[in-house]
Homo-oligomer: A and B are copies of this chain.
């Protein structure tokens, strides 16, 4: 099986390494060429453009930062207009599969699926849950949607990259909405913890102890434990996931909800708090830092330097 991989960021690079380790040959492309050097010593080909990278591939994987990056690389449009004709669609063979693993909007996912269909190619959407360390350890959780046949072709890759793959539908964009829904649930947990911690502080109860009580007796969840600790200790830097990116995801959730006519008042609330945090200069911190806005609205001063 011939593979191409586009996007060698904090997630993409360790993913390519796992694919190489499993014995596959991979042609790679990255918009900033420097990143490719880290793979030079390994069994890879470095391509000059997305179109060249995917030429002849059975499966072309993309792992990029956001909608504009994916749109530009796949369609060759967008800001980088000079990539016209150099995109994934232009280079991919008929019958090949584009496996799109970025967290993008359902609407872009729909647009890409249409474009691939018209080009006689197939499109599978498979965003992931997990941070760079999970990518390195091949412990990602993969949420996939697409045609049964194409999903079957991608299955060996899912085993190489993650600890499990959930198939949630036959329309690729459904995987994107599940991914966004998962992020929304995490943000909701942060909002709830942030409000509860402010209440505890003003009641003279230690937020750390409150966390221990509720997670020990009720939630028993490692996610509550880990994120709860970050918020209790105001350990927002270095960021595990930057607030400005969390805000981007909040926009994608609200955009999808708007398109499907689903009021999501809690998502609106979270968006507004993320935006307030951005306005106060917290864009580079971990996204859980928006809980500071809740503390400040309760008249509490931050303990962090």
A contact set with B: CB distance below 8 Å: 106, 129, 141, 143, 164, 166, 168-169, 171, 173-174, 177-178, 181-182, 184-186, 188-189, 191-193, 195-196, 198-200, 202-206, 209-210, 212-214, 216-224, 251, 253, 256-258, 260-269, 271-273, 275-276, 278-281, 293-294, 297-299
Contacts and interface: CB of A to CB of B under 8 A. Distances in A.
A79 to B, nearest CB: 13
Given A188-B192, A297-B279, A269 B273 contact: no
B279 A203 contact: no
Given A178-B200, A258-B271, A262-B275, 18 more contacts: A141-B213, A177-B200, A184-B192, A185-B192, A185-B193, A195-B265, A195-B266, A198-B264, A199-B257, A199-B260, A199-B264, A202-B260, A221-B224, A257-B275, A262-B279, A263-B272, A265-B265, A297-B297
Given A164-B217, A204-B169, A299-B279, A266 B192 contact: yes
A294 to B, nearest CB: 8
Contacts of A191: 188, 266
A interface SS class: helix
Contact of A298 (B173, B221, B276): B276
A269 B269 contact: yes
A152 B293 CA distance: 39
A27 to B, nearest CB: 30
A299 B271 contact: no
Contacts of A205: 168-169, 174, 177-178
Contact of A141 (B216, B263, B271): B216
B213 A178 contact: yes
B188 A174 contact: no
Given A168-B209, A174-B205, A198 B262 contact: yes
A195 B106 contact: no
Nearest to A171: B204
Copies in the complex: 4
Contact of A221 (B164, B221, B253): B221
Contact of A184 (B168, B195, B206, B222): B195
The 5 A-B residue pairs with the shortest CB-CB distance, nearest first, are A279-B299, A141-B217, A188-B192, A221-B221, A268-B268
Contacts of A267: 195
Given A174-B204, A185-B219, A191-B266, A276 B297 contact: yes
Given A189-B192, A271-B268, A299-B279, A199 B262 contact: yes
Contacts of A294: 263
Given A213-B182, A263-B297, A266-B195, A218 B129 contact: yes
A181 B199 CA distance: 8
30 contacts: A106-B203, A129-B218, A141-B216, A143-B213, A166-B217, A168-B206, A171-B204, A173-B203, A177-B199, A177-B203, A178-B214, A181-B200, A181-B210, A182-B213, A182-B217, A191-B266, A195-B265, A199-B256, A199-B260, A219-B221, A219-B224, A221-B221, A263-B298, A266-B269, A268-B271, A276-B297, A276-B299, A279-B297, A279-B299, A281-B299
